[in-house]
Amino acid sequence: MHPALLGIFTIAIGVGGCVTYYFSSNWILDNLLYPAKGPNAGRNINRANMIRPWLFLFPALVALGLYLAYPVFETLRLSLTDRDQDGAFVGLANYKQMFSEPKFWEAMRNNMLWLIVVPAMSTMFGLLVAQLTDRIKWGNLAKSLIFMPMAISFVGAAVIWKLVYDARPEGTEQIGVLNAIYVWFSGGAPQQWLTLPIWNNFFLMVVLIWIQTGFAMVILSAALRGIPEETIEAAIVDGANPIQIFFKIKVPQIKATIMVVWTTITLVVLKVFDIVFAMTNGQWETQVLANYMYDKLFRSFDWGVGSASAMIIMLLVTPILVWNVHNARKEMR
Amino acid sequence: MDNIAGTKSSLTWAVHISVAVLVALWLFPTVGLFVSSFRTADQISTSGWWKSLFPSEQNLTIRTAGPDAQGPDGPLFVIEGNLFDGKDAEISVWGISSRAIADFVPGDTAELKKGGRVTVQANGDYRMENEEEFTGSRGIRIFVTAEQPPEFTTENYHNMLLDPKNVDGMAKAFFNTLTVTIPATIIPIVVAAFAAYALAWMDFPGRALLIACIVALLVVPLQLALIPLLKFHLGIGIGKGYLGTWFAHTGFGLPLAIYLLRNYMVGLPRDIIENARVDGATEFQIFTKIILPLSFPALASFAIFQFLWTWNDLLVAKVFLIDSSGQTTVMTAQIVELLGTRGGNWEILATAAFVSIAVPLGVFFAMQKYLVRGLLAGSVK
């Protein structure tokens, strides 16, 4: 069958199936199991109301359980077994093997660099743009343009930035902006930016910063607008200059939001895959954990070590997970 | 905000300029690729795209018409024509050998090695004369340095989208992406809406725990799901394909969907729902007739997120969809492929990238309001 037809078919079945399920299960509950009439009407209504939430939740719980919760445990199990030995339990052997690989430590080092640089720079630029655009007439247009990269795929962004970093042989015209500027100012030979160890990591990070700044800006801009005017008026009356107002009055009041932005970007960074995969594929010392894992799983078909590295990503995410859950519970009370 | 005390700051200009610089920096890379997608391969590889907006001086090698175009003119054999096929250009110098491309100025006549002579005018008109017949199969090469006005072409898009013989074409990948995206956006919305309603407005034991679980699942990296789910899909016989991809996207999108929708639904006025209950509406009616229409903004927010995420996704498609036949490749995967095989062909890469970027950008600018609203609801607590 043609995939487009299959698609329409699936939408029809999926959506129709869901709606039918919700409608009919609800109908059965109300009319056959516990009808709200007869001698036991009151008791029946109560019982029906106890069951109904689970009917509404059931498909979502199945999908969440199967597609997110179960894989966490299954990956943990796989990371302790060896595929070549028919899935035999091998304890921590996969982890030991992974820790002995220099490529893994390279990925860890790079991931740490990413974790420090990208959230910091994105939040900083986001805060800067949010503050500056707040005061000018065409601020909304400016924000919208800086926000735009959010809609662009990581792969699309990789192509866009590869053109920026492009290098042509010395003596010919440079078509990459960075080399054109570099050659113009330094007069030296054009550089292959993506193959310069250590530095190339930063050139890759620029891509993610470019994408995430818009996100940080949107959130922080809303937070800045939520600051009570009186606090700022009071500061102005006391003779504070704009810089003092920004750092001493505004920033402390939006600290919680800055944390949220920071952690959200941190999560994106931990999972960063497409950019590295498309631009360098981890060569020239640019490996990161997610790409290392992909290499292990789908190039060397080593499910044990691949799962072990996935567990490392999970481990790095866990503090944020705990913090988020803690906040959500606090807020619900 | 700072003008409240009447301090029309002298910094205003500095602010305008810094914002302009930042916006320019943010736009510059994208504009570069966009402009490049409208240039020919030759233009891209000989000059930076920023120069294409102005008339540029280029070194070109152009062949004249071959001997079969010659005609008699009195005792002479003559070949006449225009080097630029009538397009606008201004030659400053020219030559007939690659080692001496600047030997002549327009109007000069050069003696040809094989006999005869050629005259080239500034606008590209040339005239070759010979007492004997020109022989051989091809014309001679003329090396010109010419000033050409900016020139753009839509040919790249034509090649990448409309040419069915082009193996690098994006048409198929475009439809595949669309096929992945639409069900993967709609199905999670339906499932999540019901669950969110239950979590927002129904009382049952374990509700708080469930909400906590969903917040926790929000951040679980989908990397963990790859192998277990691939094994599961192979186990139940759907293998690699659209079905598995739709399921996967649904599963991965659900936590955010439920979270966003629940937060929104909780904020709906209690009175409306209680009144409806008193009037005898069933829960199902309340949900479909009251909650769903009122939740439209949240539904739209999530729909945009999920659309952008599935359209732009590479990893899920690579793991769950694309098999060895390559018939089900999506645009992101195709672009990565092209980066490997056509690394230097920027006319192909730029066009391919823009074909894939265009749709999300359109959605972005059309529905930005909902996107911003969704982001705020999803992150600020």
Instruction: Calculate the average pLDDT of chain A.
Output: 85
Nearest CA to B291 out of B308, B313, B266, B315 is that of: B266
Q: Tell me the chain B residues in contact with residue A6 when contact means C-beta distances shorter than 8 Å.
A: 179, 242
Do residue B283 and residue A26 have CB atoms under 8 angstroms apart?
yes
Q: Compare B137 and A208 and report the one with higher pLDDT.
A: A208
Is the pLDDT score of A178 beyond 50?
yes
CB contact under 8 A, A233 and B255: no
ipTM score for this prediction:
0.86
Matching CATH number, B160-379, of 3.90.1580.10, 3.40.980.10, 1.10.3720.10, 3.30.360.10:
1.10.3720.10
3-state secondary structure of B73: strand
Contact yes or no for A128 and B45 at CB 8 A:
no
Beta-carbon contacts of residue A280 (< 8 Å; ≥ 6 apart): A194, A200, A204, A286
- Inter-chain contact A52–B198, Cβ cutoff 8 Å? yes
Instruction: Inspect the interface and report whether the beta carbons of B204 and A232 lie closer than 8 Å.
Output: no
Q: Closest partner residue to B194 among A22, A27, A49, by Cβ?
A: A22
Set of chain B residues whose Cβ sits within 8 Å of the Cβ of A233:
4-5
Q: Which carries the bigger pLDDT value, residue B377 or residue B309?
A: B309
Which residues span the domain enclosing A240?
96-332
The predicted structure's pLDDT at residue A126: 92
Angstroms from B39 CA to nearest CA on chain A: 13
Q: Which of A314, A321, A331 sits opposite B381 (nearest CB)?
A: A331
**pLDDT tens for residues A100-112?**
888 889 889 999 9
pLDDT (tens digit, 9 = 90+) per residue, B312-359?
A: 888 888 888 887 777 788 888 888 888 888 777 888 888 888 888 989
Q: A89 in a domain, yes or no?
A: no
Sort out which chain A residues have CB atoms less than 8 A from B227's CB and list them. Answer: 71, 74-75, 78, 297, 303, 306-307, 310
Domain residue spans of chain B: 11-51, 56-148, 160-379
Q: Please name the member of B217, B232, B346 whose beta carbon is closest to the beta carbon of A163.
A: B346
Residues A147 and A284 in one domain: yes
Percentage of chain B modeled with pLDDT above 70: 96
Contact B191 A15 (CB under 8 A): no
Is the model's pLDDT at A98 over the cut of 70? yes
**CA A236 to centroid of chain Cα atoms:** 39
A14, A23, A273 member nearest B183 (Cβ): A14
Question: How many CB atoms sit inside 10 A of residue B327's CB?
Answer: 10
**Looking at the structure, do residues A172 and A317 belong to the same domain, yes or no?**
yes
Report residue B114 as tokens. Answer: 């094989």
Predicted confidence band of residue B2 (pLDDT cuts 50, 70, 90): very low
Instruction: Tell me the shortest Cα–Cα distance from B308 to chain A, in angstroms.
Output: 7
Q: Mean pLDDT across the stretch A197-201? A: 85
pLDDT tens by residue, B252-281:
989 988 988 888 888 888 888 888 888 888
**Which of B12, B13, B17, B19 should be substituted to probe chain A, the one whose Cβ sees the most A Cβ atoms within 10 Å?**
B19
**Average model confidence (pLDDT) across chain B:** 83
B3, pLDDT greater than 70: no
Query: Which of these, B327, B65, B286, lies nearest to B175 by C-alpha position?
Result: B327
Q: Is residue A84 part of a domain?
A: no
CB contact under 8 A, A63 and B332: no
Q: What is the pLDDT of residue A88?
A: 76
Q: How is residue B100 annotated by DSSP?
A: B
- pLDDT-based confidence at B1, cuts 50/70/90? very low
Average confidence (pLDDT) over B200-227: 86
Structural domain contains residue A150: yes
pLDDT at B5: 45
Considering A52, A79, A106, which residue would you say is the last residue of a domain? A79
Per-residue pLDDT for B187 more than 80?
A: yes
Residue B165 scores a pLDDT above 90: no
Nearest one of B26, B21, B23, B47 to B35, comparing CA atoms: B47
Q: Given a cut of 50, is residue B6 above it in pLDDT?
A: no
Query: How near does any CA of chain B get to the CA of A238, in Å?
Result: 11
B240 contact partners, CB below 8 Å, separation of at least 6: B230, B233, B320, B321, B322, B323, B328
pLDDT of B30 above 70: yes
pLDDT score, position A187: 77
| A24 and A59 assigned to the same domain | yes
A72 and A157 assigned to the same domain: no
Query: Cβ–Cβ of A237/B5 closer than 8 Å?
Result: yes
A57 and A102 inside one domain? no
Say which residue the tokens 């005061």 belong to: A135
At residue A3, the pLDDT reads 60
Dihedral sign, Cα of residue B101, residue B102, residue B108, residue B113? negative
Pair (A225, A137) in one structural domain: yes
Which residues, other chains included, contact B291 with Cβ-Cβ below 8 Å and sequence gap of 6+? B197, B201, B265, B268, B273
d(C-alpha B89, C-alpha B104), whole Å: 17
Share of chain A above pLDDT 70, in %: 97
Q: B299: buried, middle or exposed (CB in 10 Å: 19+, 13-18, 0-12)?
A: buried
Residue A223: what pLDDT? Answer: 87
Tell which of A51, A79, A107 closes a domain.
A79
Which among A66, A128, A306 has CB closest to B227? A306
Of B220, B223, B353, the CB nearest to A293: B223
Report residue A119's pLDDT band, with 50, 70 and 90 as the boundaries. Answer: very high
Distance (Å) from the alpha carbon of A198 to chain B's nearest alpha carbon: 22
- Domain identity same for A121 and A203: yes
Which residue does chain A place closest to B30, by CA atoms?
A160
